[in-house]
């Protein structure tokens, strides 16, 4: 897993199966992924963009609630936007690159 943060070198971290992308980012000390609501998809402060790697990391896609939260997020929502708290890591993903939204 590679986290890319504006103004910092990419941060490569070991993949941890069964945790959310938010939890992995917090454990790795990734700045810019805040998760102020504790992972309940209600604040939008863990907004990330899928940059490269298997699309399976996004699972079945955004829920309606997640979509609504991203609509009011500080950074622009795109078709590659997700809330890191809603992405569960599963085995066999290989290298995945995630860009941290510039504003949370």
Digit-coded pLDDT (tens) for 6-40: 899 999 998 878 899 999 999 999 988 999 999 99
pLDDT for 69 equals: 92
- Determine the 3-state secondary structure of 66 from DSSP: helix
Residues 79-91: tens digit of each pLDDT:
889 999 998 887 7
- Determine the 3-state secondary structure of 56 from DSSP: helix
Tokens 């000390």 belong to 29
> Does the structure show a pLDDT above 70 at 59?
no
DSSP conformation class of 77: P
């Amino acid at each position: 897993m590679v986290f890319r943060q504006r103004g910092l070198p990419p941060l490569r971290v070991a993949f941890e199966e069964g945790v959310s992308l938010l939890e992995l980012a917090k454990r790795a000390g990734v700045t810019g992924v805040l998760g102020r609501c504790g992972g309940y998809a209600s604040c939008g402060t863990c907004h990330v963009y899928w940059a490269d790697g298997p699309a399976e990391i996004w699972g079945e896609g955004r829920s309606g609630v997640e979509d609504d939260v991203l609509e009011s997020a500080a950074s622009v929502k795109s078709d590659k936007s997700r809330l890191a708290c809603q992405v569960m890591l599963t085995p066999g993903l290989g290298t995945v690159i995630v860009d941290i939204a510039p504003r949370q």
